[in-house]
Structure 1
């Protein structure tokens, strides 16, 4: 029998590289020569700025602003530069820019949210909690702040406290799919599987727009079904998860286990073979495959 690991869903902050910002995506319409030239010059400036950052050099605000669309204000400049500093692991300069953003807009809760997530990514939990709490005081009717507080508690392993924060977020917006998913994850970690399945169901009914969120909803609900020995339901959810990410290793292995337990040895072998092809070093998958082939 294979060991079924616990699901872990991590909030991964997408650091905006200069060349990856949606604002700078190439337009679909045909461009004039001057537009093409401007875009090329901006791309060159972006590469130069990123190269300077990666060498540990400071980049002045004018250099960043030159790469941004017309009308970009200082807050956009600082936010962009802070993200770039963080991307190249210059955390001191990144924090300085995030803090300057807060100083410029002390009544703008979004600035506290940005810096709070920076602190969370740096595992500075007390600082993150302080910023998220400040944002919540300024904008008490937005669920993003209690949700963020819950993410800090979850990162600290305090899943009961995380659930309390997610409850606050859901009271503000009962269809907040992200908070429902996070609460389900916390309940998985507390082995409250039936409650977790109920939250996954609610999240999926909330019409999750993000593909990644839908993937984790099916994966998490499938895992809850797996540990409660609902094999058919588990396979169905892992099928849906794999439609969204066909190389999701956990979904493949867990589906193999569920197929084995429901007597579909042929499908279990297929899943374990697929898992081994993706990760030949995984001892559990290789052992399960050898065991089933020997029957």
Structure 2
């Protein structure tokens, strides 16, 4: 779940306000925008509050919402994005920002509602489909998530990251054969990421392919320099299934010495 949320966070484009129209902005509004672009969020917030008192515009509410987002005050960000959308319904960037705030609040169903509008209006916008795929996965709407990943593939060539995400959807559906296929594709693109080997190793375990699981967990340990206990624990499980108790015992001992070890 943490990995999925990280993937969502990476979708946020913090500089998107730079592309919004500034032709009709007042001096204070331009000043606030400049402060935002410089990541001086508190100063921007103070300035935009002054603007809102005299000119409560769509852009002003949207910018204050972004300031609230930067302060991790997601509920207040959502309120301001809602105010902006009342003044300019279904505006692309603000819907996107609000979907991000919903995701940060853990309100994935509401995020999907905003993303539904965006994908309908902009059927070739990759990031909207990917964000919805991730949210649908969290909501356990696995078929919807796979459909969104299919749209991602239609729009542009798939990256290792997206293929791995799709593999995790298959794994969540207990379709480990297809999960292995996806993880193998991801490894063919980038064979240096320890997490992909771990994911594939888990699916191999579920498929009772214990030798393959041992190889993947070993590769994970090698690439990750043995910093995480999980791969040792899972490799121990595979060794036990293979009738190798000494190796399993050693892996459990190694795991117990690592900070993130859990029984």
TM-score (norm 1): 0.62
Is 1:131 the counterpart of 2:110 in the alignment? no
Q: What is the SS of the residue equivalent to 1:11?
A: helix
Does residue 1:118 correspond to 2:101, yes or no?
yes
Report if the CA contact (8 A) 1:81-1:97 is conserved.
no
Instruction: Give the helix-richer structure, 1 or 2.
Output: 2
In structure 2, the CA distance between the partners of 1:199 and 1:102, relative to structure 1 (3 Å rule), is farther
Does the residue aligned with 2:123 lie in a helix, a strand or coil? coil
Deviations 1:40-81 (A, max 9, x none): xx9xxx89949xxxxxxx941469xxxxxxxxx989965762
Residue 195 of structure 1, CA deviation: 0.6
Distance 2:181 2:153 in 1: 14
Q: Which has the higher contact order (CA 8 A, sep 6+)?
A: 1
C-alpha change, 1:95 and 1:191, in structure 2 (3 Å) is same
Against the structure 1 CA distance between its residues 9 and 188, is the aligned structure 2 distance closer, same or farther, given a 3 Å change threshold? farther
Q: Tell me: CA distance 1:272–1:140, structure 2 relative to 1, closer, same or farther (3 Å).
A: same
Tell me the C-alpha RMSD between the 2 structures: 3.9
Partner residue of 1:215?
A: 194
d(CA) in 2 for partners of 1:76, 1:122: 18
Gaps of 5+ in 1: 1-6, 16-20, 22-41, 51-57, 64-72, 284-295
Aligned position for 1:258:
238
SS at match of 2:4: coil
Partner of 2:26: none
Counterpart CA distance in 1 for 2:261 and 2:151 is 43
Counterpart selection for 2:126 from 139, 143, 150:
143
Between 237-246 and 154-163, report the one with greater CA deviation: 237-246
Would you say how many aligned residue pairs link Structure 1 and Structure 2?
227
C-alpha distance in 2, partners of 1:136/1:251? 38
Is 1:203 the equivalent of 2:186? yes
Looking at structure 1, the residues matched to 47 and 86 of structure 2 have their Cα atoms a distance apart, in angstroms, of 16
